Amino acid sequence: MNKRVVLVMVILCSFLLGGVAFSQEAKLKAGFIYVGPIGDLGWSHAHEQARQVLEETYPWLDTIYVEAVPEGEVEGIIDRLVNQEKVDVVVTTSFGFMDGTVNAAKRYPDKIFFHCSGFKRAPNLATYMADFHQVYYLNGIMAGALTKSGKIGYVGTFPTPELKRHINAFTLGVRRVNPQAEVNVRWLQSAWYDPQGAKEAAEALVAEGVDVLAFTEDSASVVQVAEEKGLPSFGHYSPMLSYAPNHLVSGQLVHWEAIYLDFFAKVYAGLYTNQNLDNLDYWWLLNDGAVELGADFGVPINPVYEETLKSYMVDDPVYGNISVYDLVFKLEAAMADPEYAFSPFTGPIKDRQGNIRVPSSVRLSLEDLITMEWAVEGVAGPWPGEPE
Amino acid sequence: MVLELILGTLNRALAYGTPLLLATLGEIYVERAGVLNLGIEGMMMIGAFSSFVVAYATSNPWLGIVVGAIVGGLFSLIHAFSSITLRANQTVSGLALTMLGTGIAETLGRSWEGKVLTSPIKSFSGDFLSSLPGGLDLLFKDSNLLVVVSIILALVMWFFLFKTKPGLFLRSCGENPSACDALGINVWKVRYLAVLWGGIMAGLGGAYISIAYRPTWSSGMTQGMGWLAVALTIFSFWNPIYAPLGAYLFGALFHLAFRLQVFVAPEFLNSLPYLFPVIALVFVSRLAFRKKIGVPGSLGKPYERGKSG
């Protein structure tokens, strides 16, 4: 072979290698830690969908994930991700990972941490949450219009402030159009994923005469009960229309990718570093595109229920005589407004003992929302940890 | 009102207790033959998954049920081979079966996750129900043919075990395999058949979950029912006739845990279904200690010719 050809090839190769080395340096690597299996229809599944969007959208980002991590073992997993997988950013997606993440953030000050649903932050640890309370409110409005017995069933997993906030928002929606209706709550208190328990709880509620079902749990059990019994229901977390094509009215859907895309772009651009995350808390709602009202993505209301909701007229204090169908979209627009024109938790709101919890025309603060323990008027059934 | 509550509770007890009953009935035969099979959970998962796939692909739920039973049976032969032929530790082998079954079902099930069966086995419909005499329509509202079959199976299996000669052989193999062997009974064959039958019943129980109870596939969908069946086997004194009692009691407690939440703290109620087997087991073991009832004499001991069992 000609010497010059060899020389050119060597030079070309070194360029190529140099190029590879360069692009590797500019790449970001993120490790995601999930509390559940990615197969379930709930929380971890939704985070995994978002991770895949990230991976596809940003060519400069590599991601890996670890699923079904028990909450106590998160620190060891973070050690592995940092030391062996050499990740730059660690994303922990369960409230129970909070203390483990905080400890790891101290141990690896040059790495960036992103913890979901927690409240502890550090210079290299930010927090984020896509909250459903606005969407629950809208679903409550539809539930209030669809109940004939005035009794709506709600299956909850654990009585945490998050669930209480959501059930309260749902109930406030119900009572806006149906002031006599009540929301009967039953708690599973077993696991976030408990399909058998959710099914039996829903069956028990139906036996007691509820005729609309909503829930917080990571399977589609409750929706399947609704389909079998022919009752309107509201899905949670993932699109559940296929489980009850004729009996799923709407539901809460999440877009974690909205938050992830924003966060990682800013990390990559150097806007977010391991020095300045102290006060970074994403609390993203409808106006940020982090949550969506829908039976399926792009299907805010199941067409099967359109007629009923359009013909159900109410006298609304703000919008006057209006169909529930229109009311839902008016309020959705008001909440999706960048100015955050309307909050479900705007006073006057009484708790179910009759105490004024939110004075007239006052809006609850974020702090109030994330520590909520009381139950609004209209909630029926047990409420563990209810303040006196 | 009270009558409605009772009938409503029993109605759900039947619907929820059936997979427990099926698996328990199977395990009773297995343990009566002297083999402990802790692999029920795995066999149920395998049964649930295979039957779901077949029912989904063919739109024939009954074909799915049959396949689930067959696959459960075939899968149990792994335990039969290791514990009877190879005389391995039955506890370890059974645990391995559970891990293997759960692992296989969940790995293969990844791409089926969240799929919904459009042709499930439906609960009894209006015409048949309304033809039932007073109260029974409420009692069987959420039941289907498999529920009835499982009750009949409990009776038939009791009759076979205690009133027939092969039933006597089966029990004898669990009590004193050497004596059986001396009498010319093929201990290995009896034990193999018992384990196979246990697998078929567990597979059937799993199939009921994914085709009738909750017609979908999701990982972990048996939710530890196989382990409950192990406890219920003891609770029913290894007697098929008592098996429905335990299974339905568990189902009833599960339902009541939600019905009574308005009156009693949910934390307490939700622990009841799990507290109950513990209390029952203490009770049974005391009874067994005093009267020496039930426990098959050679349970869990591999049989080897020439060595006293």
Tell me which residue of A162, A208, A188, A372 sits closest to B266, measured CA to CA: A188
State the pLDDT at residue A9.
56
Of residues B272 and A362, which shows the higher confidence score?
A: A362
Question: Is there a contact between B67 and B226 (Cβ–Cβ < 8 Å)?
Answer: no
- Is the Cβ pair A200, B12 closer than 8 Å? yes
Tens of pLDDT, residues B21-52: 999 999 999 999 999 999 999 999 999 999 99
- Is the Cβ pair B270, A187 closer than 8 Å? yes
Q: Between A200, A220, A380, which is nearest B254 by CB? A: A200
pLDDT-derived band at A258, boundaries 50, 70, 90: very high
State the pLDDT at residue B1.
76
Of residues B307 and B84, which shows the higher confidence score?
A: B84
Q: Residue A202: CB partners within 8 Å, gap ≥ 6?
A: A153, A155, A213, A215, A221, A222, A225, A226
A199: which chain B residues are within 8 Å (Cβ-Cβ)?
213-214
Question: How confident is the prediction for chain A on average, in pLDDT?
Answer: 92
Cis ω for the linkage preceding A382 (within 30 of 0): no
Q: Residue range A191-220: average pLDDT?
A: 93
pLDDT tops 80 at residue A164: yes
State the pLDDT at residue B89.
95
Tens of pLDDT, residues A107-136: 999 999 999 998 899 999 999 999 999 999
pLDDT-derived band at B307, boundaries 50, 70, 90: low
Size of the A and B interface in Cβ pairs below 8 Å? 87
B213: which chain A residues are within 8 Å (Cβ-Cβ)?
199
pLDDT tops 60 at residue A10: no
The Cα of A143 is separated from the nearest Cα of chain B by a number of Å equal to 22
State the pLDDT at residue B170.
96
Q: Could you tell me which residues are beta bridge partners of residue A316?
A: A320
pLDDT tops 70 at residue B298: yes
Mutate one of B6, B9, B218 to test the A interface: name it (highest A CB count within 10 A).
B218
pLDDT tops 50 at residue B110: yes
Q: Between A224, A242, A380, which is nearest B214 by CB? A: A224
Rounded distance, CA B32 to CA A211, Å?
47
User: How far is residue B252 from each of residues A15, A28, A100, B262, B270, measured CA to CA in Å?
Assistant: 73, 54, 40, 17, 12
pLDDT tops 50 at residue A20: no
Domain edges within chain A = 26-131+256-288, 133-253+290-380
Q: Residue B236: CB partners within 8 Å, gap ≥ 6?
A: B24, B28, B242, B243, B245, B246
Taking CA atoms, what residue in A is nearest to B262? A381
- Is the Cβ pair B214, A221 closer than 8 Å? yes
Identical fold for domains A26-131+256-288 and A133-253+290-380, yes or no, is yes
Mutate one of A187, A190, A223, A243 to test the B interface: name it (highest B CB count within 10 A).
A187
Q: So what's the ipTM on this one? A: 0.90
Question: Is there a contact between A185 and A205 (Cβ–Cβ < 8 Å)?
Answer: no
A204: which chain B residues are within 8 Å (Cβ-Cβ)?
12, 255, 258-259
- Is the Cβ pair A187, B12 closer than 8 Å? no
Q: Residue range B212-218: average pLDDT?
A: 93
Q: Residue B35: CB partners within 8 Å, gap ≥ 6?
A: B79, B80, B83, B84, B90, B174, B191, B194, B195, B299, B300
Interface residues from chain B to A (CB-CB < 8 Å): 8, 12, 15-16, 106, 109-110, 113-114, 116, 123, 142, 213-216, 218-221, 223, 225, 254-255, 257-259, 261-262, 265-267, 270
Q: Residue range B237-250: average pLDDT?
A: 94
| Three state DSSP letters for chain B | CHHHHHHHHHHHHHHHHHHHHHHHHHHHHHHHCCCCCCCHHHHHHHHHHHHHHHHHHHCCHHHHHHHHHHHHHHHHHHHHHHHHHCCCCHHHHHHHHHHHHHHHHHHHHHHHCCCECCCCCCCCCHHHHHCCCCCHHHHCCCCCHHHHHHHHHHHHHHHHHHHCHHHHHHHHHHHCHHHHHHCCCCHHHHHHHHHHHHHHHHHHHHHHHHHHHCCECCCCCCCCHHHHHHHHHHHCCCCCCCHHHHHHHHHHHHHHHHHHHHCCCHHHHHHHHHHHHHHHHHHHHHHHHHHCCCCCCCCCCCCCCCCCC
Taking CA atoms, what residue in A is nearest to B13? A200
pLDDT tops 80 at residue B306: no
- Is the Cβ pair B259, A204 closer than 8 Å? yes
The Cα of A195 is separated from the nearest Cα of chain B by a number of Å equal to 7
Tell me which residue of B25, B16, B24, B67 sits closest to B46, measured CA to CA: B67
CATH superfamily entry for domain A133-253+290-380: Response regulator (3.40.50.2300)
Mutate one of A34, A224, A352 to test the B interface: name it (highest B CB count within 10 A).
A224
- Is the Cβ pair A382, B265 closer than 8 Å? yes
State the pLDDT at residue A5.
58
How many percent of chain A have pLDDT more than 90?
82
B225: which chain A residues are within 8 Å (Cβ-Cβ)?
196
- Least confident piece of the model among A185-194, A300-309, B299-308: B299-308
Tokens of B173: 């193999």
CATH code of the domain made up of A26-131+256-288: 3.40.50.2300
Tell me the range of A345-354, B121-130, B279-288 where mean pLDDT is highest: A345-354
Tell me which residue of B270, B288, B182, B184 sits closest to B233, measured CA to CA: B288
Identity at B66, one-letter amino acid code = V
A186: which chain B residues are within 8 Å (Cβ-Cβ)?
258, 261, 266
Question: Residue A5, exposed/middle/buried by CB under 10 A (0-12, 13-18, 19+)?
Answer: exposed
Architecture of domain B2-291: Orthogonal Bundle (1.10)
CA angle A188, A41, B55 (to 5 degrees): 100
Q: Between A194, A204, A221, which is nearest B255 by CB? A: A204
Tens of pLDDT, residues A41-87: 778 889 999 999 999 999 999 999 999 899 889 999 999 999 999 99
- Is the Cβ pair B8, A207 closer than 8 Å? yes
Of residues B280 and B201, which shows the higher confidence score?
A: B201
How many percent of chain B have pLDDT more than 90?
70
pLDDT-derived band at A172, boundaries 50, 70, 90: very high
Domain edges within chain B = 2-291
Q: Residue range A279-285: average pLDDT?
A: 95
The phi and psi torsions of A58 (rounded to 5 degrees) equal: -105, 105
